[in-house]
């Protein structure tokens, strides 16, 4: 490579790779942050983190190889190593998406077919040395991978809602810019351009690559946990109660907030009609139980799940009435507890001073709760 590229192209590429690694690390951090909650769809974050980490390592090796290794033995070795890493990134991504959890987004059979194809092409690229064969293989592999990813992202965005949907659209736009810059700027593509415009062309692609990665980073930043698609439809009502005061501090009816909910109204009436069950009975059931760590109460065809407050507000209990239990709903209730405790920490340990004003004071939690539903 010329000194012109080394002075202007290489620094820009290094900046792009640094952003790429930050994105990979952040995706992996988000995944492991909520790993213990067993959120099946959250493996998307793991897939993204690994594909960015392994992919950019492969591209970085290709860049270093083109600038610093001139002998054929070293160059061939690092070329093969870069192919292996990039192929591993694609295979790992598809392998994670081949689990049954993602079948409702894209058929696992399709994913497995693409996975097998990727493995076969990857093996051929490692062993075939004829350039005239490598180029078409790469184009075919890129084409199949791009079509698969576009279908997957389209269906994923279509099924998603709220903040996650907006962020996925942002990430997709960034990915299109990033992948376009990487593919067009690859050695296999650039060699077909007139020699006198190859270097300026590579320089012009750097802003596209950096902007694409910057857009992805904006989408990734504070990306929420990936919850099951229909978890909101099973929410009915939330109560936050004080066991000491034997009193409701806050309540929220999800039937009024979430549109087009498919809730069996007959079951709801059975629970809340004629004061038979009501909030007083829910509180009574919780406060009178000897097991203060009770997590679940079955009431007819409905389910009540509970989270108990952390010290010093241990005697605050978070009660969620739902249609069916889901890992995503359990995760949501833990987030409700965390947000409520952080927002009203000082008030919760001094409830005796706000008697009669609980609902007015805690009504502001509606804003926080609605954000958790986005």
Integer angstrom CA distances of residue 186 from 63, 114, 198, 293: 9, 23, 11, 58
Q: Where are the alpha helices (DSSP H) in 192-248?
A: 195-220
Angle between helices 162-184 and 195-220 (to 10 degrees): 160
Strands 316-322 and 302-308: antiparallel
Q: Residues with Cβ < 8 Å from 254, sequence gap 6 or more?
A: 232, 235, 236, 237, 238, 261, 373
66-69's contacts with Cβ under 8 Å and 24+ in sequence apart are: 66/1, 66/187, 67/1, 67/5, 67/6, 67/10
Contact between 31 and 43 (Cβ < 8 Å): yes
Q: Residues with Cβ < 8 Å from 331, sequence gap 6 or more?
A: 34, 37, 39, 225, 227
Instruction: From 301, 331, 289, 292, select the one nearest 41 (Cα to Cα).
Output: 331
In SS3 terms, 79-91 reads as HHHHHHHHHHHHH
Strands 247-253 and 235-242: antiparallel
* Residue 159 burial (10 A CB sphere; 0-12, 13-18, 19+): middle
- Position 258 scores a pLDDT of 60
The ranges of the chain with pLDDT < 50 are 260-263, 266, 268-278, 280, 290
- Position 47 scores a pLDDT of 92
Segment (H or E) for 259: none
Dist. CA 211–CA 206, nearest whole Å: 8
Q: Where are the domains of the chain?
A: 3-220, 232-372
Please confirm whether the linkage preceding 312 is cis (ω < 30° from 0): yes
- Position 300 scores a pLDDT of 66
Contact between 247 and 307 (Cβ < 8 Å): no
Integer angstrom CA distances of residue 44 from 30, 128, 302, 328: 11, 33, 31, 15
Phi-psi region of 260 (alpha: psi -120 to 50; beta: other; left: phi over 0): left
- Position 294 scores a pLDDT of 61
Instruction: From 105, 99, 116, select the one nearest 150 (Cα to Cα).
Output: 105
In CATH terms, the fold of domain 232-372 is: Beta-Lactamase (3.30.450)
Which residue bears the tokens 């694609």?
90
- Position 262 scores a pLDDT of 47
How many Cβ atoms from other residues are within 10 Å of residue 208's Cβ? 17
Dist. CA 371–CA 236, nearest whole Å: 17
- Position 277 scores a pLDDT of 38
What are the two backbone dihedrals, phi and then psi, of residue 356, each rounded to the nearest 5 degrees?
90, -15
């Amino acid at each position: 490579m010329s000194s012109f590229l080394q002075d202007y192209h290489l620094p820009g590429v290094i900046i792009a790779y640094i952003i790429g690694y930050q994105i990979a690390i952040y995706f992996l951090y988000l995944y492991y942050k909520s790993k213990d909650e067993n959120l099946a769809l959250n493996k998307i974050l793991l897939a993204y983190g690994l594909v960015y980490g392994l992919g950019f390592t492969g591209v970085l090796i290709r860049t270093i190889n083109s600038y610093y290794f001139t002998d054929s033995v070293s160059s061939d070795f690092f070329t093969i190593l870069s192919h292996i890493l990039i192929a591993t990134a694609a295979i790992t991504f598809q392998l994670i998406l081949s689990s049954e959890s993602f079948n409702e987004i894209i058929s696992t059979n399709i994913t497995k077919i693409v996975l097998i194809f990727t493995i076969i092409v990857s093996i051929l690229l490692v062993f075939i040395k004829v350039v005239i064969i490598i180029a078409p293989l790469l184009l075919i592999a890129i084409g199949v991978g791009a079509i698969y990813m576009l279908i997957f992202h389209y269906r994923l965005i279509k099924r998603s809602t709220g903040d996650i949907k907006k962020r996925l659209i942002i990430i997709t736009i960034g990915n299109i810019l990033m992948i376009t810059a990487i593919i067009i700027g690859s050695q296999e593509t650039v060699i077909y351009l007139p020699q006198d415009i190859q270097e300026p062309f590579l320089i012009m692609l750097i802003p596209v690559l950096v902007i694409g990665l910057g857009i992805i980073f904006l989408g990734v930043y504070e990306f929420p946990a990936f919850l099951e698609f229909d978890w909101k439809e099973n929410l009915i009502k939330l109560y936050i109660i004080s066991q000491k005061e034997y009193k409701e501090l806050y309540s929220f009816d999800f039937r009024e907030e979430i549109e087009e909910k498919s809730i069996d109204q007959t079951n709801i009436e059975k629970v809340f009609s004629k004061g038979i069950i009501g909030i007083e009975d829910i509180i009574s059931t919780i406060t009178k139980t000897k097991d203060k760590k009770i997590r679940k109460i079955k009431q007819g065809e409905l389910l009540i799940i509970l989270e108990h407050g952390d010290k010093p507000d241990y005697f605050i209990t978070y009660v969620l009435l739902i249609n069916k239990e889901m890992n995503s709903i359990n995760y949501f209730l833990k987030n409700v507890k965390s947000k409520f405790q952080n927002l009203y920490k000082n008030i919760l340990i001094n409830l005796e001073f706000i008697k009669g004003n609980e609902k007015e004071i805690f009504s502001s939690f509606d804003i926080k709760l609605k954000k958790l539903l986005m």
